[in-house]
Structure formats: structure tokens, C-alpha cells
Amino acid sequence: MFPEAEEKFIVFGAPLIEQVEIDEVVACMQSGWLGTGPRVAQFERDFSAYQAVLPGQVAAVNSCTAALHISMVAAGLEPGGEVITTPLTFCASVNSIIHAGLTPILADVDPVSQCIDPAAIEAAITPRTRAILVVHFAGRPCDMDTIMAIASRHRLVVIEDCAHAIETEYHGRKAGTFGDFGCFSFYATKNITTGEGGMVISRSCELAARVRVLALHGMSKDAWHRFGDAGYKHYQVVEAGFKYNMMDLQAAIGIHQLARVEPSWQRREQLWGRYMQAFADLPVDLPAAPEAGTRHAYHLFTLMLDEARCGISRDAFLDAMNARRIGTGVHYLSLPEHPYYQQRFGWVPEQFPHAMRLGRQTVSLPLSPKLSDADQQRIIAAVREILR
Ligand SMILES: *Cc1c(COP(=O)(O)O)cnc(C)c1O
């Protein structure tokens, strides 16, 4: 059965934008203050309250990639040091390590949690290891008790890539507050969006102050303070910083996205539960149930397709979904599949067999709170028809 040509394309990761965001962006434009200013300050305060940290511990930036890069610079990791991370992540996790002048070292994932395996971290530690960069994959927390114990035993900096994990909790604590730095993304497909945007939570207000300086050219006072109504203040450049600051235009969206973070999470939990039920009898692997004592952020819902078992390759499945006008994602081909890393670091996919297999079998289905019940029914029917 083929759908009519006019059938709506269900966009993967479509953001749910409400009138309040639109009104706030318009008000921001009418205020004449587009850059870093009062709306960024409010978004930072709201985010720190949501994550139960001090306002002085957070700094808004213009992407999670910037957040990761600047965290490694602020940590003072000397060039040449090694940073252990997962092969099952977005390329930005590793590119930020490279841009900080450090060497990425991969440690395979646990095949059930799909998060970095602490035993593989231990095995990858050398005298040059300086940090561990973990990714709370799909919104499921990493095994932070074990990872923090390894880090303290070897005196390693810990950076948490929380791009999927705004709502994630582990043993009563928020993801992003275990390590020295937690880095969040507000990219268009993430759990809350500012279009492009990011946030750093630092372990201390002192570290966060360094992050702020680094995020705006290395200047000691930000533009809001310089040009506000308190009178002109000279700035001093205290190090060679970056241009990573968030704009008020972005924060205008984020303030209202953050206000709805919990209802959006509840909607994704409901969609997730329906997918689990609808696919329970299919010859595919489904995501592991959330671990006791943790809160899953339900950022991605993934099916694992083993062609020998389900009769269709992952890539043919992606095409079949697209033909039914349903967008999907792949999170992720393991990093050693990419030519740049193969050439630069000599990585081969087979060195990290769990990440390789998952990366070749995984498909992400739409899970946005923007999905209607009817959209989800269409997706479920399509998946069942293709895998029939
Ligand atoms: C999206 C994502 C990033 C990058 O986030 P940006 O805000 O787009 O820079 C980094 N890591 C992971 C795991 C991501 O999913």
C-alpha cells in the first residue's frame, strides 16, 4: 500500500514551538537588544534552578560543541594529553577534543546501555590520560559511580556530554553535575531548543567564571555589563578566548522551551511506552528499560535491526520509511567508520565491536513532543508493515 503524494512528511526531531516563544522573540527584537543580555541571564538562572546548581555555576554558549571545547580549555589540560571517550557518539564529541589540542582515545560501549563501558575506560588508561568524556546516550545515564571512582583513582577530569540528557538523573543527582563540566545542547532536534545553543555547568563558580571569559573573546567583562545603563566600563583581554556567547534572541526561545521541559518529557515518555508495546513482538531489539534509581531523558527511541533476523537491512529500512514519508535518524555510525579518523588515528570499526554493530543496526524513530497520536500511529503501522 502506497501513501498518497499529499501525505504529510513526518520530520525527524521536529521542535515544538509555541506562540509564547514566537512572542518572546518578537519582543526581544523590538527591545533592540539582540545579543547577550537580560534574556540570556534569565535563561541561565532558570537553567541553574532546573538543574539545582548555583546560578554562578552555569554559562550559556552558542552550541554544545562550543561547551565541550571550552570546558577542555578551561580545565587546563595541556596539549598532547589523552581524553577517553565513546565511539558511539556525534562527531562533535571527538572534534572538540582534537580542537583542544588533545588526543581522543576510544573505549567501547556496553551493548545493553549503549553508554561507555567503565571496564573499557580502565583498559584504555595510559600515563598520558588526562580526562574522560562521557556521553549519556539517548538520555540514559552512564554508570557514573564506577566512572567517578576510576577518575578519582587516576586523577582525571570528567566532562559529561549531556546533549541528550537535560532531564537525566542518576541516583538522585542530575546528569551534568557529576563531572568537572556538564555540556548541554539546544540544537533544533534536542529535548529543548534555542535553534542553536548550549550550556556549561561547571563544578565551581570559579571554573564557570573562566568559561564565561573564554566564551567571549577572553574579555574580563561581558558586553551587557559594558553597554548597559550602568555606564561605560573598560574591558581587559585576559586570554585568547573564543566567540561562543549565546544571543538574547536564542535565549528568548529557550526560556519558554525550558518552562515546558517536564510536560515535553512526559509526552516523550508516553510515546516511548507506546513504541515499546507496539513493537514487542517484532524480530528487532528495542532499547533497554531504564535502570532502577535513574531517570531516562527519552531523547532517542531506537530499533536495532539485524538483517539475518528481521529480513531487511538497516539502510533498506531507512529507505522504506522515507518512501512512507517518515523521517528517521541514525545515532550513530561508530566514529571509526569515518575516513578522517581512520586516516588520522588509524581507528578501525572492528576494534570497538559493540559500537560497530549498534551503529550498523540502529534506527531512531521520531520522538518529538510535536508528534500527534495520529502521527505515531502512522509510524507504528509503517514499521510493522516493513518488518512484517
Ligand atoms: C547534538 C550533539 C552534540 C553537538 O551539539 P551542538 O549543540 O549541535 O553543538 C554533541 N554531542 C552529542 C552526543 C550530540 O547529540
- 303-312 pLDDT, tens per residue? 999 999 999 9
pLDDT in tens, 323-362: 999 999 999 999 999 999 999 999 999 999 999 999 999 9
pLDDT band at 78 (very low <50, low <70, confident <90, very high): confident
8 Å CB contact between 329 and 364? yes
What is the pLDDT averaged over residues 93-120? 98
Is a pLDDT exceeding 90 seen at residue 56? yes
The x, y and z cell numbers of residue 169, run together, are 538523573
| Ligand 1 lined by 194 (C-beta under 6 Å) | no
Q: How far apart are alpha carbons 338 and 98 in whole angstroms?
A: 15
* pTM beyond cutoff 0.75: yes
Is a pLDDT exceeding 90 seen at residue 224? no
Q: Residue 97 C-alpha to ligand 1 middle, in angstroms?
A: 13
| Ligand 1 lined by 47 (C-beta under 6 Å) | no
What residues contact residue 334 under an 8 Å CB cut-off, 6+ apart? 87, 88, 349, 352, 355, 356, 358, 359
- The preferred substitution site among 64, 186, 300 for testing ligand 1, maximizing ligand atoms within 8 Å of CB, is 64
Tell me which amino acid residue 80 is. G
Share the mean pLDDT of the chain: 96
pLDDT in tens, 198-217: 999 999 999 999 999 999 99
If you count them, how many residues does the chain have? 388
Q: Which residues face 158 on adjacent strands?
A: 132
CATH topology for the 19-259 domain? Aspartate Aminotransferase; domain 2 (3.40.640)
243 is a catalytic site residue: no
Q: Which residues face 185 on adjacent strands?
A: 198
Q: Residue 135 C-alpha to ligand 1 middle, in angstroms?
A: 10
Q: Which residues face 216 on adjacent strands?
A: 243
What is the pLDDT averaged over residues 79-106? 97
Q: What is the pLDDT of residue 227?
A: 61
| Ligand 1 lined by 60 (C-beta under 6 Å) | no
Say yes or no: do domains 19-259 and 261-387 share a fold. Answer: no
Rg (CA), the chain: 21
Atom from ligand 1 closest to the CA of residue 66: 9
CATH 3.90.1150.10 fits 261-387, yes or no: yes
| Ligand 1 lined by 75 (C-beta under 6 Å) | no
Q: What is the residue extent of each domain of the chain?
A: 19-259, 261-387
Q: What is the pLDDT of residue 388?
A: 86
Q: Residue 163 C-alpha to ligand 1 middle, in angstroms?
A: 5
DSSP per residue, 337-369:
GSHHHHHHH---GGGSHHHHHHHHHEEEEP--T
Q: How far apart are alpha carbons 8 and 38 in whole angstroms?
A: 39
